[in-house]
């Protein structure tokens, strides 16, 4: 991108990816509410169409403002609509193994993070394909993947409330009234969920969790964006830098899936706090890695801890 926008500063270029990631996460509440109201299919279809349009429009861009609109604005909004629905739906399918379910779901992005850099390296560096046609190849590859996701991400069947069986000869009026009251409460709860219950915004624990995660994510993505540029600056080839990024994403896959399985037993937030600390410590050691072995080891370690 620095070569493609050679007239722009690194700071200006970084705003494109920053806006995209910001919209991905700030749009999560909207994506979640849409899933609750109309199901996952429509948001995912709209998001998939937006993703394809963003990628193909980016392949035609020649100016900074065009890239900001296509890759920063449209791509970020569309990613939010595709990213959020599968998470909520999968967690509803596996309520008792949420850590593992979420790890496997998010682990898919790690697999993509392994494949896409290698594909880009082969097209851009080895075969000399232009930037525009490389992005169009990415867009065409995304079509069947997005179509598969839109068709397979479906809500689990809603459980029906069943009144406990009560023998006719021993059932009292009070027992029947309790059963009827329980049914009424269940129906009223469902009605409240359908309308959208916003009471969670008044819970301090939830609010502080969101604020804490927001602070963490201010720095969590920085190495993922700049590890390739850092490797090149330290004398590594462009091809090597792409493979280092693939290694970081491969390591994050094991962190996500493995930690998800462990977290279901040891506690999700216990593991989250510990590995946030590890990610911060490893992040501060980044500049000590100057050789290829050092950068590789550092990248694998950071990929694993940040994946957790």
- Encode pLDDT of 34-45 as tens digits: 888 888 999 999
Surface-to-core class of residue 151, CB atoms within 10 Å of its CB (0-12 exposed, 13-18 middle, 19+ buried)? exposed
Q: Domain count of the chain?
A: 2
Look at residue 36 and tell me if it is in a domain. yes
Say yes or no to pLDDT of 197 above 70: no
Shared domain for 140 and 264, answered yes or no, is: no
Say yes or no to pLDDT of 179 above 70: no
Q: Which domain does 151 fall in, by range?
A: 1-95+129-156
Shared domain for 143 and 71, answered yes or no, is: yes
Say yes or no to pLDDT of 176 above 50: no
Token readout for 85 is: 């629905």
Look at residue 89 and tell me if it is in a domain. yes
**pLDDT on residue 192:** 44
Sign of the CA dihedral running 40, 45, 50, 52: positive
Surface-to-core class of residue 308, CB atoms within 10 Å of its CB (0-12 exposed, 13-18 middle, 19+ buried)? buried
Do residues 153 and 85 make contact, with C-beta atoms less than 8 angstroms apart? yes
Look at residue 183 and tell me if it is in a domain. no
Shared domain for 151 and 294, answered yes or no, is: no
- Three-state DSSP state, 196: coil
Look at residue 215 and tell me if it is in a domain. yes
**pLDDT on residue 39:** 87
* 74 band by pLDDT with thresholds 50, 70 and 90: very high
Q: How far apart are CA 274 and CA 32, in angstroms?
A: 28
Shared domain for 152 and 301, answered yes or no, is: no
Shared domain for 152 and 205, answered yes or no, is: no
Shared domain for 90 and 207, answered yes or no, is: no
Closest CA to 16 of 7, 26, 27, 8: 8
Shared domain for 3 and 151, answered yes or no, is: yes
Look at residue 46 and tell me if it is in a domain. yes
Shared domain for 67 and 144, answered yes or no, is: yes
CB atoms within 10 A of CB 193: 10
Provide, rounded to the nearest whole percent, the portion of the chain with pLDDT above 90: 38
Shared domain for 138 and 45, answered yes or no, is: yes
Do residues 146 and 51 make contact, with C-beta atoms less than 8 angstroms apart? yes
């Amino acid at each position: 991108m620095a070569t493609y926008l050679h007239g722009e500063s690194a700071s200006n270029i970084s705003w494109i990816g920053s806006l995209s990631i910001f919209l991905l996460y700030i749009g999560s509440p909207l994506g979640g509410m849409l899933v609750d109201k109309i199901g996952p299919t429509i948001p995912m279809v709209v998001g998939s169409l937006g993703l394809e349009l963003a990628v193909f429009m980016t392949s035609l861009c020649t100016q900074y403002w065009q890239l900001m609109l296509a890759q920063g604005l449209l791509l970020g909004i569309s990613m939010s609509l595709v990213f959020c629905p599968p998470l909520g739906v999968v967690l509803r399918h596996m309520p008792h193994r949420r850590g593992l379910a979420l790890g496997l779901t998010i682990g898919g992005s790690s697999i993509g993070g392994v494949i896409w850099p290698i594909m880009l390296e082969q097209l851009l560096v080895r075969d000399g394909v232009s930037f525009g046609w490389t992005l169009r190849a990415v867009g065409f590859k995304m079509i069947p993947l997005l179509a598969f996701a839109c068709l397979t991400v479906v809500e689990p069947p809603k459980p029906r409330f069943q009144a406990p069986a009560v023998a006719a000869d021993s059932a009292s009026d009070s027992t029947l009234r309790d059963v009827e009251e329980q049914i009424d409460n269940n129906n009223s709860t469902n009605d409240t969920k359908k309308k959208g219950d916003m009471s969670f915004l008044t819970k301090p624990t939830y609010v502080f969790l969101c604020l804490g995660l927001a602070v963490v994510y201010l720095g969590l993505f920085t190495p993922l964006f700049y590890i390739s540029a850092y490797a090149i600056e330290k004398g590594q080839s462009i091809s090597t830098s792409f493979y280092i990024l693939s290694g970081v994403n491969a390591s994050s896959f094991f962190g996500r899936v493995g930690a998800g399985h462990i977290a279901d037993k040891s506690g999700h937030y216990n593991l989250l706090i510990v590995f946030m600390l590890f990610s911060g410590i490893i992040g501060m050691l980044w500049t000590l890695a100057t050789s290829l072995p050092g950068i590789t080891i550092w990248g694998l370690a950071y990929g694993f801890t940040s994946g957790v």
